[in-house]
Structure 1
Amino acid sequence: MNTPVGIYVSIPFCKAKCSFCNFASDVFGSERMDSYIDRLCREIVSARHEAQRTGAVLEASADSVYFGGGTPSLLSPDQFRRIFTALRGEFHISQEAEITVECAPGQLSSETLEALQREGMNRVSLGVQSFVDREARTVGRLHTGPECEAEIARLQAAGVSKTGLDLIVGLPHQTEASWRESVDRALESGVGHISVYMLEVDEDSRLGREALAGGVRYGAGDLPHEDDVAEWYEMGCELLQKAGTGQYEISNFARDGERSLHNMKYWRRLPYIGFGLDAHSMLLSENGSVRFQNPDGMNVYMNDPTGPFPMVGVEAQERPVERVSREAAFEESIFLGLRLNAGVRLTDLRESFGVEMVESLMPSMAEVCEAGLLTMDEERIRLTAKGRLASNEVFSRLLVAAAV
């Protein structure tokens, strides 16, 4: 196997919980944060023991480390030092490794920035979401547009080799003009990577629950129509492409050499291991691959003796492990690979899963192509621009056919 692993570290702390957020993150006190770091480091130290239990192969080398949240930049230099010490005690993190930290504008101190750079951090992803103050304020962001621009300039001046930012299309009060303003200001900032997410309206966020209930709190009464959001997303894609920040995945755009190595692991089904609250893992095994997930409740995660997975020297209930079947791996290869603009090579599918399994999908793929959602030739299949907007529909059609 010998494929370097990607490492994800969940830091679920925020200064304020945004109304649109559906992640396992929240506002916690400093004492809780420090005890969480202790728990996290113990989990890292137990990684090989846990991998052995699942029958998975956990490579010693790692070529990406991603601190996600929450707002990881809220950690102190000492807390980051403890995490890196634990990681380097279990993994060989190469000199060329991509080390990413998610930050909120204005919430990364100079001291912490310097400490992270000493640890090898070379990539920052800023949660801007909108450069328009009214939109950001409505959903609970604590920064202004000028503060975002100043933060980007500070990171670039400090020598952070790669900077990126997130934008959300479909926020309350957003208009075509204000969305274009955010895209333009993102491009003018000179960042090399931009992620564009369409706002999710579901029961897992305060804003989503309010909108589904027909309420007006959190700006739910001022959400743009979904048809407008789809048009604005397409407009954003065009603007970014013309400016040399090309789309390589449904939600991700990058200049040459600026793609996220860590996130590519997810879409290419390469091995990764997650540590911390609600972290997911996918590791290779002799018989395919295994998946497992940490609990999404802080109290459950923190409670070692009765937690859902064992620590070294601690009696505990074992964490459920999904042994990915050949059929499930085939489905994953399709719906994850199709997220990439490059699509999925049919030759790779045939070599990995056999001609018969691929041929069984051909009628459904032909139907999706006729609907203008997919293109297919002898070499590969790809989503069209229309298909990227209706990707869930495409995936459901193909996965139903694959399951028959």
Structure 2
Amino acid sequence: MTPAPLPSAPQPTAQAPALTPAAPESGTPAPIPPADRPAAAPSATPADRTATPRPYTQYVYAYPHKTAYRPLAPRPALRDLWAGEPKDALSLYLHIPFCEVRCGFCNLFTRIGAPGDLTTRYLDALDRQATAAREALGDGGPVRFAAAAFGGGTPTYLDAGELSRLCDIAERRMGADLRAVPLSVETSPGTATADRLAVLAERGATRVSIGVQSFVDAEARSAVRPQRRADVEAALGRIRDARIPVLNIDLIYGIDGQTPATWRTSLDAALAWRPEELYLYPLYVRPLTALGAPGRDPDTTGDAAWDAQRLALYRQGRDHLLAHGYEQVSMRMFRRPGALAQGPDDHACQTDGMIGLGCGARSYTSRLHYSFDYAVGMREVRSLIDAYTATEDFTRAEVGRYVEGDEARRRHLLQSVLQAAGMPLDGYRARFGSHPADDFPAELAAFTARGWLTEHDGLLRLTPEGLAHSDALGPELFSPAVRAAMAAYEPK
């Protein structure tokens, strides 16, 4: 499931104080609708900011979204893009686009299985791309990686030997010292085997994120995630045996058939492992996924009952974790006090200065975000992976979007204000020479009027209700140009 936090340069990270739990919801929650109900409506536009948008509009984990990227013409040379960029605290992300199964809610760039020698050919291409990327960084100044992550897909779909090669590419080709920096790796219950985890532990992994989603077998099947709780528990035991410092468990609320009681079952089952981090995700249903009903557009059709149910389950989960001593870092992320921080959190994780390797990875300079083409449908994904493995020349950026001026301000605001700790106004002013209310008066006034946003002690900070509505607030900060590009994108 998880777009787990991508790495970025370490920076001081204040622990977010635990928010006061909201009062329990009154009445009995409405039955949860079938899992193929639509999950998102269009982003709010300046004309409708007086109305409260739906709470689940869009998960904003990066800005601009990849659907706003377009082919670059002319295609810029990587060496030119990175010339003059700070390179002493880069982030490194390696993408593995393979999974055993594709979950019903997943719209990430991934395919089921890797027939024949596909993983070998993919790693060969990753090696070529890494060589080109490192050459583009040049040797005119210090080049250092401050954090790394392996994501997907499921990186642990690779066997132990292939994982060793993946680490070699990061270290020998890119020059990253994986044992000296935070290294986050995503896994699944079926691929978290002892031999794979041993490789990751030996090579310096400091965080493993496992997508459990539900400890209730019937709910997992409903989300098109065939797994048994016994197998999940066994995988968690192997992760703990590997002594990797940070365990993150992903859970999902809003699954067909889920109730407050079964949601509590999953929360308590996860808490029994005392994970250093827990992510609570609302279920989204997107086009071209297994849960997306044919002929329906989940981006334009709302379901008020499902919205209300997910919001109630979010509040239940939040309050339960706060009562167990966890600190809320963002709408989704909760951290156990004293746990090792892995750099900037959640929405703040995608900062300038990132090298992404793999056909689903993004790279960021201070001016341009770039990647390869994006798809969700299985046929298109397979075609793009095949094209990637056949590529010999990785010296130019292909698809992307420039992020300057107003877009840079929007991105900084999104990265910061969606954190429970809030955004220091002095930092914004130092970077842009203005107050965010001067740059985004209508948006911030609307958030404040709804009771979502406060300014106090030099911080622009979301209220508990504002955090609960992060997936509505974030899209309202998208620029008209990005919103138009996303609307014009044709899913494939």
Counterpart in the other structure of 1:273: 355
In 2, Cα distance between equivalents of 1:357 and 1:209: 40
Pick from 458, 466, 476: which aligns with 1:387? 466
Q: 1:125 to 1:268 in 2, by over 3 A?
A: closer
Q: Does 1:19 align with 2:104?
A: yes
Counterpart in the other structure of 2:4: none
Matches within 5 A, 1:80-99: 80-89=163-172, 90-93=174-177, 95-99=179-183
Pick from 305, 311, 328: which aligns with 2:394? 311
Structure (1/2) with the larger helix percentage: 1
Counterpart in the other structure of 1:177: 261
How many residue pairs get matched? 383
The answer to whether the 8 A contact 1:5-1:272 is kept is yes
**Which ranges of structure 1 fall in alignment gaps of 5 or more residues?**
215-222
The answer to whether the 8 A contact 1:5-1:64 is kept is yes
Counterpart in the other structure of 2:448: 369
Identity of aligned residues (%): 25
The answer to whether the 8 A contact 1:294-1:301 is kept is no
> SS at 1:46's partner residue?
helix
Matches within 5 A, 1:282-293: 282-284=364-366, 289-293=367-371
Counterpart in the other structure of 1:37: 123
Counterpart in the other structure of 1:114: 198
Counterpart in the other structure of 1:229: 310
- Aligned residues: CA RMSD: 3.0
Counterpart in the other structure of 1:346: 425
Question: For residue 185 of structure 1, what is the amino acid of its counterpart?
Answer: A
CA-to-aligned-CA distance 1:274-320 (integer Å, 9 cap, x gap): 11122111134xxxx3211123344335436985x9436xxxx7514
In 1, Cα distance between equivalents of 2:214 and 2:437: 42
**Shift of residue 369, structure 1, vs aligned partner:** 0.9
Q: Does 1:138 align with 2:219?
A: no
The answer to whether the 8 A contact 2:193-2:235 is kept is no
The answer to whether the 8 A contact 1:272-1:283 is kept is yes
Q: 1:82 to 1:305 in 2, by over 3 A?
A: closer
Counterpart in the other structure of 1:63: 146
**Shift of residue 210, structure 1, vs aligned partner:** 4.9
**Shift of residue 130, structure 1, vs aligned partner:** 0.3
Structure (1/2) with the larger strand percentage: 1
In 2, Cα distance between equivalents of 1:119 and 1:94: 7
Question: For residue 167 of structure 2, what is the amino acid of its counterpart?
Answer: F
**Shift of residue 213, structure 1, vs aligned partner:** 7.0
User: In terms of mean alpha carbon deviation, does 367-376 or 90-99 score higher?
Assistant: 90-99
**Shift of residue 166, structure 1, vs aligned partner:** 0.5
> SS at 1:39's partner residue?
helix
In 2, Cα distance between equivalents of 1:160 and 1:80: 16
The answer to whether the 8 A contact 2:278-2:335 is kept is yes
In 1, Cα distance between equivalents of 2:454 and 2:340: 26
Question: For residue 127 of structure 2, what is the amino acid of its counterpart?
Answer: C
> SS at 1:261's partner residue?
coil
**Which ranges of structure 2 fall in alignment gaps of 5 or more residues?**
1-85, 299-303, 375-380, 483-492
> SS at 2:286's partner residue?
coil
CA-to-aligned-CA distance 1:134-171 (integer Å, 9 cap, x gap): 00122232322232222212221232222111001111
Q: 1:204 to 1:346 in 2, by over 3 A?
A: farther
Counterpart in the other structure of 1:327: 406
**Shift of residue 102, structure 1, vs aligned partner:** 1.1
CA-to-aligned-CA distance 1:94-146 (integer Å, 9 cap, x gap): 53311222111132222222222221223211110000010012223232223
Question: For residue 159 of structure 2, what is the amino acid of its counterpart?
Answer: S
In 2, Cα distance between equivalents of 1:107 and 1:51: 34
Q: 1:226 to 1:367 in 2, by over 3 A?
A: closer
Q: 1:60 to 1:263 in 2, by over 3 A?
A: farther
Pick from 401, 411, 415: which aligns with 1:336? 415
CA-to-aligned-CA distance 1:335-354 (integer Å, 9 cap, x gap): 12122111211111111111
Question: For residue 37 of structure 1, what is the amino acid of its counterpart?
Answer: L
**Shift of residue 38, structure 1, vs aligned partner:** 1.1
In 1, Cα distance between equivalents of 2:272 and 2:341: 19
Q: 1:386 to 1:112 in 2, by over 3 A?
A: same
Q: 1:8 to 1:224 in 2, by over 3 A?
A: farther
User: In terms of mean alpha carbon deviation, does 118-127 or 264-273 score higher?
Assistant: 264-273
The answer to whether the 8 A contact 2:355-2:362 is kept is yes
Question: For residue 277 of structure 2, what is the amino acid of its counterpart?
Answer: H
- TM-score with structure 2 length normalisation? 0.71
- TM-score with structure 1 length normalisation? 0.85
Counterpart in the other structure of 2:328: 247
The answer to whether the 8 A contact 1:24-1:278 is kept is yes
Counterpart in the other structure of 2:64: none
The answer to whether the 8 A contact 1:267-1:339 is kept is no
In 1, Cα distance between equivalents of 2:263 and 2:346: 27
**Shift of residue 261, structure 1, vs aligned partner:** 2.5
> SS at 1:97's partner residue?
coil
The answer to whether the 8 A contact 2:184-2:207 is kept is yes
